[in-house]
Structure 1
Amino acid sequence: MNLPEHSPLGKTSAYRTDYAPELLFPIPRQGKRDELGLKGTLPFFGVDIWNGYELSWLNMRGKPQVAVARFTIPADSPNLIESKSFKLYLNSFNQTRLAGPDALKMLLQQDLSAAAGANVHVTLTMQEDFAKLEMGELEGQLLDRLDIDVDNYSPQPETLKANFDELPVEETLVSHLLKSNCLVTGQPDWGSVQISYYGPQIDQESLLKYLIGFREHNEFHEQCVERIFTDILRQCKPQHLTVYARYTRRGGLDINPWRTNFSSAQRPSNLRNARQ
Structure 2
Amino acid sequence: MSASADHSPLGKAVRYADQYDPALLFPIPRAPQRAQLGITGQPGFFGADLWTAFELSWLNARGKPQVAIAHIMVPCESTHIVESKSFKLYLNSFNGTRIGDAQEVQRRIQADVSAALWQGGPVRASASVRLIAPEDFDREAVHELDGLSLDRLDIDCDVYEQPAPELLTAVFDEQPVEETLTSRLLKSNCPVTGQPDWGSVQIRYAGPQIDQAGLLRYIISFRNHNDFHEHCVERMFMDIWQRCRPAKLSVTARYTRRGGLDINPWRTSHPAKPPANVRTARQ
What's the counterpart of residue 257 of structure 1? 265
**1:43 partner SS:** coil
* Superposed displacement of residue 188, structure 1: 0.3
What's the counterpart of residue 49 of structure 1? 50
**1:226 partner SS:** helix
What's the counterpart of residue 129 of structure 2? 122
What's the counterpart of residue 192 of structure 1? 200
What's the counterpart of residue 106 of structure 1? 107
**1:193 partner SS:** strand
1:136 is aligned to 2:143: yes
Listed one character per residue, the Cα deviations across residues 21-74 of structure 1 (whole Å, up to 9, x for unaligned) are 111000000110000001134221100000000000000100000000000000
What's the counterpart of residue 218 of structure 1? 226
Return the letter of the residue paired with 2:110. Answer: Q
Task: Give the distance between the partners of 1:166 and 1:38, measured in 2 at CA.
Answer: 30
Report if the CA contact (8 A) 2:191-2:228 is conserved.
yes
* TM-score under structure 1 length normalisation: 0.98
What's the counterpart of residue 273 of structure 2? 266
Q: Percent identity?
A: 59
* Superposed displacement of residue 269, structure 1: 1.1
The two structures, once aligned, show a CA RMSD in angstroms of 0.8
Q: 1:159-174 to 2 correspondence within 5 Å?
A: 159-174=167-182
Task: Give the distance between the partners of 2:10 and 2:227, measured in 1 at CA.
Answer: 13
1:146 is aligned to 2:153: yes
Task: Give the distance between the partners of 2:225 and 2:88, measured in 1 at CA.
Answer: 23
* Superposed displacement of residue 89, structure 1: 0.3
* Superposed displacement of residue 88, structure 1: 0.3
* Superposed displacement of residue 155, structure 1: 0.7
* Superposed displacement of residue 101, structure 1: 0.5
What's the counterpart of residue 10 of structure 1? 11
Task: Give the distance between the partners of 2:128 and 2:158, measured in 1 at CA.
Answer: 42
The count of residues paired between Structure 1 and Structure 2 equals 275
What's the counterpart of residue 96 of structure 1? 97
Task: Give the distance between the partners of 2:181 and 2:18, measured in 1 at CA.
Answer: 43
* Superposed displacement of residue 132, structure 1: 1.3
The equivalent position to 1:229 in structure 2, one of 233, 237, 250, is 237
What's the counterpart of residue 62 of structure 1? 63
Report if the CA contact (8 A) 2:42-2:77 is conserved.
no
Task: Give the distance between the partners of 1:112 and 1:40, measured in 2 at CA.
Answer: 22
Q: Which runs of 5+ in 2 are unaligned?
A: none
Task: Give the distance between the partners of 2:265 and 2:211, measured in 1 at CA.
Answer: 24
Task: Give the distance between the partners of 2:24 and 2:66, measured in 1 at CA.
Answer: 22
Task: Give the distance between the partners of 1:272 and 1:178, measured in 2 at CA.
Answer: 16
Q: Which runs of 5+ in 1 are unaligned?
A: none
* Superposed displacement of residue 262, structure 1: 2.2
Return the letter of the residue paired with 2:45. Answer: F
Task: Give the distance between the partners of 2:40 and 2:251, measured in 1 at CA.
Answer: 20
* Superposed displacement of residue 266, structure 1: 2.7
* TM-score under structure 2 length normalisation: 0.96
What's the counterpart of residue 74 of structure 2? 73
**2:130 partner SS:** strand
What's the counterpart of residue 40 of structure 1? 41
Task: Give the distance between the partners of 1:8 and 1:221, measured in 2 at CA.
Answer: 17
